[in-house]
Structure 1
């Protein structure tokens, strides 16, 4: 499959994706001369004309704009969205984790699809409590904590 990364996908994410998504052509919109700034209504038909089958985006509002939805529908392209609401290194880590966990399965599903699909990858919960477990052994010692060797 030929996958186009939308302009709003951070360019470093392309490097990460190509490391674990093999046998797919992955192109970032910003690497295509003259594509920067292309409005979504024009992007989808243009992508079809250039032989893309899938667009990866983090534009969650795209599906709430009637003209953009019409362009997506008319294009027949598969659309994969991933949530990305956090800035900085933590935000990039969340984006990488979300895409790394979900994109290979999404692409495998699209290989078998008999028509257009719209996929939203579920985000990784960024709250510290969901990402790590912290144990204070003075308060909740693990089993055998006080056993001497």
Structure 2
């Protein structure tokens, strides 16, 4: 499939997705001459005319804007969105985006390859919170099985 990553998708995510999805053709809007800054109402028609089949975006408010919804519907393109909590910026934000897209996109693409008509897919977000991403064990307070007791050699 020919896949377009919207401008709001971090460019490094495109590099990672290309490594994992070699059988697909991925392009980022920022990498195509003259496409950066294209309004979403024009982007979908332009992408369809260029032979793209899928647009990936993290603009979750797009489906609440009537003109953008009309442009998406008219394009016939599949739309895949993922949520990105912008309060988690930097490495945590990028890691969350990469994890969400890389874990969910292969499943979404299999669905799209079998689709008889246009689909709108939302990828389930990876929780970047400290509590969700880490399991911490203090072996002095809660020793794992077979952990030596103090003084054992």
TM-score interval w.r.t. the shorter chain?
over 0.9
The list of structure 1 runs, each at least 4 consecutive aligned residues, that deviate by more than 3 angstroms after superposition, is: none
Q: How does 1:70-149 map to 2 (within 5 A)?
A: 70-85=70-85, 86-146=88-148, 148=152
Query: In the alignment, what sits opposite 1:39?
Result: 39
Query: In the alignment, what sits opposite 1:28?
Result: 28
TM-score w.r.t. the length of structure 1 is 0.95
Supply the RMSD in Å over aligned alpha carbons.
1.1
* 1:7 equivalent in alignment to 2:41: no
Shift of 1:146: 2.8
Structure 1 residues not aligned, in runs of 5+: none
Once the two structures are superposed, residues 24-53 of structure 1 have per-residue CA deviations (whole angstroms, 9 ceiling, x without a partner) of 110111111111111111111111111000
Shift of 1:139: 1.5
Once the two structures are superposed, residues 76-123 of structure 1 have per-residue CA deviations (whole angstroms, 9 ceiling, x without a partner) of 100001111221111001111111101111111100011111111111
* 1:48 equivalent in alignment to 2:48: yes
